[in-house]
Amino acid sequence: MHQVTPRVELLAHTPDALSLIYAAFRQCYHAGFVGDMWPRLLSGEISAEKQADFVAKVMESGHDSPIEHVSFTFALEGISRALTHQLVRHRLASYSQQSQRYVDGSDFSYVMPPTVANNPEARRLFEKCMSDLREAYSGLKGLLEADGRGDKAAEDARFVLPQAAETRIVMTMNCRALLNFFEHRCCARAQWEIRAVAEQCLELCRAVLPAVFSRAGARCERLGYCPEGKKFTCGRYPLP
């Protein structure tokens, strides 16, 4: 059992992402059939620079539904169950999470908040709690196995596992859902752990598709002002 920190890996994204978005946008304004244009996009006859410029300009107008045709899939580890409770509230996404019913949690790792880590007494109390819960989990699992629950013992013993317990999850979102995710979770008011994950995801997305994600992030970065209101603003940008 040990402390962990977030790690994000980009597993896959839609192939030819920029060209696909360009084709989808062009179909909205083009009298012809973009299927005939597709080979020219893939061959480079219509340059990537031209495609990116067109996509960026149309998105500035607020027309962004065609970017839903492209998605990104991430693998996340070193994150807490507290984080994934927030993550799955982004419902335009697909998730595959490590199951506490089938994965033995006897030696679970955990995420420690920085405020706890930086306070010696709080850290001591936190680590003791994690150790006590580990013992409780192992004890319950053993008792239930002896009582005939067998392989099913973990699904009942897991009820004592904390929200700090590490989990792993695969997440897929389309570009439009990702922009919304970044607007909310890159904000200074977002919880520190999910903000760290969102920032890692954003960095990976920008490397693949800058035409869509170069200005992505907290809403204030796109708007140039803070939309959170006087009560909640962090002061980074002026209020409207």
User: Which residue of the set 26, 134, 176, 185 is catalytic?
Assistant: 185
Residue 200, H or E segment: helix 192-208
Closest C-alpha to 192, from 76, 77, 91, 112: 112
195 is catalytic: no
In this structure, what token pair is assigned to residue 123? Answer: 């850290």
Q: Which residues pair with 174 in a beta bridge?
A: 71
User: Rounded to an integer, what distance in angstroms lies between the CA atom of residue 202 and that of residue 196?
Assistant: 10
* CA gap 147, 177 in Å, rounded: 47
- By the 10 Å C-beta count (0-12 exposed, 13-18 middle, 19+ buried), 40 is classed as exposed
DSSP reduced 3-state for 191: coil
Q: Where does residue 229 rank: exposed (0-12), middle (13-18), buried (19+ CB within 10 A)? A: exposed
Contacts of 222 (CB under 8 A, 6+ apart): 183, 215, 216
Which residue type sits at 59? M
Find all residues with CB under 8 Å of 58, minimum gap 6, and list them: 25
The span from the CA of 23 to the CA of 136, in Å, is: 57
Name the residues annotated as catalytic.
185
